[in-house]
């Protein structure tokens, strides 16, 4: 009986130690945003825009260059760049009649990086500004290009401006 009690206590301690070592964000989209990085709103000049991160999509291996325009407005254009499993495609279908996509992709697939969104704001005149930063990681053996896909309501239409923070 005592052996069982000690064995259970040892297993519980090992579990808590392992889970504590692995408590950080596992996904770039799970990272918390440092509030000091959030751009301040200045009256009517900038307005926060809500968005959804579509993190089930990956950049196709056939995409060799990052598109010059980060705004994607059609399913055909989106499907030419991104893919996902059929199951995810059905669950996370993007309705391009109501939304558009802002896609930011790493220049090189050789380094594992994540995009940390800082803010998405309406700006005058007719601009949408996406502020983000890259969090670099280690070299990676495969060729999956790091990216982030934001789904934005079309009521916030305008030219998309990317604002990369260091």
Sign (positive/negative) of CA torsion 82, 87, 89, 91?
negative
CA distances from 126 to 79, 118, 121, 157, 164 (A): 26, 20, 11, 7, 19
Look at residue 144 in the predicted model and tell me its pLDDT: 75
Domain ranges of the chain: 46-165
Digit-by-digit pLDDT tens for the chain (166 residues) are 555 444 444 444 443 333 333 333 333 333 334 444 444 433 344 589 999 999 889 999 888 888 899 999 999 999 999 998 877 777 788 999 999 999 999 887 777 788 999 999 998 789 999 999 998 876 766 667 889 999 999 999 999 999 999 8
The C-alpha atoms of residue 36 and residue 29 are separated, in whole angstroms, by: 18
Per-residue DSSP letter, 69: -
- What token pair was written down for 80? 């030419």
Look at residue 7 in the predicted model and tell me its pLDDT: 41
- As a whole number of Å, the CA-based R_g of the chain is 20
CA atoms within 13 A on the CB side of 35: 0
Look at residue 164 in the predicted model and tell me its pLDDT: 94
Look at residue 156 in the predicted model and tell me its pLDDT: 94
Residue of 110, 101, 131 whose CA lies nearest to 119? 131
Look at residue 125 in the predicted model and tell me its pLDDT: 81
Look at residue 143 in the predicted model and tell me its pLDDT: 65
Instruction: Give yes or no for a cis peptide into 125 (omega within 30° of 0).
Output: yes
The C-alpha atoms of residue 40 and residue 51 are separated, in whole angstroms, by: 18
């Amino acid at each position: 009986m005592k052996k069982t009690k000690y064995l259970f206590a040892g297993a519980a301690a090992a579990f808590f130690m392992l889970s504590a070592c692995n408590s950080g964000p596992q996904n770039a989209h799970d990272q918390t945003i440092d509030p000091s990085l959030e751009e301040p709103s200045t009256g009517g000049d900038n307005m926060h825009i809500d968005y959804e991160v579509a993190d089930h999509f990956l950049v196709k291996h056939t995409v060799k260059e990052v598109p010059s325009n980060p705004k994607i407005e059609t399913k055909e254009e989106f499907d030419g760049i991104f893919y996902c499993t059929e199951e995810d495609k059905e669950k996370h279908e993007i309705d391009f009649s109501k939304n558009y996509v802002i896609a930011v992709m790493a220049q090189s697939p050789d380094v594992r990086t994540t995009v940390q969104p800082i803010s998405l704001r309406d700006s005058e005149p007719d601009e949408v500004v996406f502020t983000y930063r890259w969090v670099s990681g280690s070299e990676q053996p495969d060729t999956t290009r790091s990216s982030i896909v934001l789904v934005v309501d079309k009521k916030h239409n305008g030219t998309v401006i990317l604002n990369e923070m260091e």
